[in-house]
Amino acid sequence: MNYQIVSDSSANLLPQSGRLAIAPLKIMVSGREFVDDDTLDVNEMIDVLRYTQGKSTTACPSIADWLSAFGNAEFVFCFTITSRLSGSANAARLAREEYRVTHPGRKVYLFDTLSTGPEMRLLIERTVALLECGVSPEDTASLIRSYMRRTKLIFSLKSLKNLANNGRVSPIIAKLASALGVSLIGRASQKGELAQLSKCRGERRTLEKIVLHMKELGYTGGRVVIDHCRNEEGASQLAALLHTAFPAASVHIGQTRGLCSFYAESGGLMIGFEGGEE
Ligand code: X90
């Protein structure tokens, strides 16, 4: 079967030839454009961001970006960041309309993940596993839609400056995390919006609180993906806490790419995990 999995770059994944194609978002920092593809030097982007006072913003993939990611596959599984915060899902939808005209008979499954980052990785890995086991595309798509009801995203942010400056979070919420040493813990709500869970002082307390929130959301020791922005230490401590509470937990640690680094900012953690159905 000839299938292609495609995702926008907010999933923090790199392309894998013949299997996973990535439609990049873009980050504009004081007139300079960073394309969030596999050639992006994320550390350089973060450094440039830190030393510029100018306006910085982001842009979702264009319809053409999506079309080139779809390639020429018979079946396309397409994953986007929540449509509540980005135009990516809409651009993918328009790309699908065009693809249907230029590639009659092909099938494009669109998943507005109502989330981003590591939760998208969980969905994509599950899709690959099902297809590799020989599950039909149609069944895979419906199994992924039910899996999506169980996967969750929690994040802890030390600054919400870029989210607030770009109108992605209310200034009131952003202000909560503006004090030094305070992290805001939040989640992707069922509607795909940023929802605040708590405010914490100190890294250790923040990590413990994250584990607590994960349990509240039904985590019982399944798969976890932690993506960090320059916070390897926090990510490994969180993995250790999870292993203490759930010895059989499967925890993968990764790094945020351009888009998530821009919004999660230095010190940010994003945690995708298997929870309970809500
Ligand atoms: O289209 C665009 O320009 C992209 C806009 C993306 C805006 C939000 C990205 C957030 C990334 C921050 C924590 C996770 C929040 C998720 C809430 C659903 C990382």
Q: How far is the CA of 85 from the centre of ligand 1 (A)?
A: 6
Residue 54: predicted pLDDT: 80
Residue 55: predicted pLDDT: 85
Cβ–Cβ < 8 Å for 108, 5: no
Q: How far is the CA of 37 from the centre of ligand 1 (A)?
A: 17
Question: 170 versus 101: which is more confidently predicted?
Answer: 101
Residue 18: predicted pLDDT: 82
Is the shortest distance between the CB of 80 and ligand 1 below 6 Å? no
Is the shortest distance between the CB of 194 and ligand 1 below 6 Å? yes
Instruction: Give residue 178's pLDDT band: very low, low, confident or very high (50, 70, 90).
Output: confident
The chain-wide mean pLDDT, for the chain, equals 95
Q: How far is the CA of 30 from the centre of ligand 1 (A)?
A: 20
Q: How far is the CA of 116 from the centre of ligand 1 (A)?
A: 7
Measuring from atom 11 of ligand 1, which residue has the nearest CA?
260
What number does the ligand 1 atom closest to the CA of 189 have?
18
Is the shortest distance between the CB of 82 and ligand 1 below 6 Å? yes
86-115: average pLDDT = 97
Measuring from atom 8 of ligand 1, which residue has the nearest CA?
85
pLDDT for 173 beyond 90: no
Instruction: Give residue 253's pLDDT band: very low, low, confident or very high (50, 70, 90).
Output: very high
The long-range contacts involving 123-130, CB below 8 angstroms and separated by at least 24 positions, are 123/79, 123/147, 123/148, 123/151, 124/5, 124/7, 124/11, 124/13, 124/20, 124/79, 127/5, 127/77, 128/5, 128/19, 128/20
pLDDT for 17 beyond 90: no
What number does the ligand 1 atom closest to the CA of 187 have?
17
What is the percent of the chain where pLDDT is above 70? Answer: 100
Q: Return the best residue to mutate from 57, 83, 85 for the ligand 1 pocket (most ligand atoms within 8 A of CB).
A: 85
What is the percent of the chain where pLDDT is above 90? Answer: 89
Residue 105: predicted pLDDT: 93
Task: Give the Cα separation of 120 and 205 in Å (integer).
Answer: 27
What is the reported pTM? 0.97
Q: How far is the CA of 255 from the centre of ligand 1 (A)?
A: 15
Measuring from atom 18 of ligand 1, which residue has the nearest CA?
188
Is the shortest distance between the CB of 88 and ligand 1 below 6 Å? yes
The long-range contacts involving 204-213, CB below 8 angstroms and separated by at least 24 positions, are 204/237, 206/156, 206/234, 207/234, 207/237, 207/238, 207/241, 208/241, 209/185, 210/154, 210/156, 210/185, 210/238, 210/269, 210/271, 211/238, 211/241, 211/242, 211/245, 213/154, 213/185, 213/187
Q: What is the pLDDT of residues 237-251, one digit of tens each?
A: 999 999 999 999 999
Is the shortest distance between the CB of 156 and ligand 1 below 6 Å? no
Amino acid at 174: A
Q: How far is the CA of 38 from the centre of ligand 1 (A)?
A: 19
Q: How far is the CA of 117 from the centre of ligand 1 (A)?
A: 9
Q: What is the pLDDT of residues 30-79, one digit of tens each?
A: 889 999 999 999 999 999 998 888 889 999 999 999 999 999 999 999 99
Q: What is the pLDDT of residues 53-66, one digit of tens each?
A: 888 999 999 999 99
Residue 174: predicted pLDDT: 79
Cβ–Cβ < 8 Å for 166, 57: yes
Q: What is the pLDDT of residues 132-167, one digit of tens each?
A: 999 999 999 999 999 999 999 999 999 999 999 999
Task: Give the Cα separation of 53 and 63 in Å (integer).
Answer: 31
Question: 2 versus 87: which is more confidently predicted?
Answer: 87
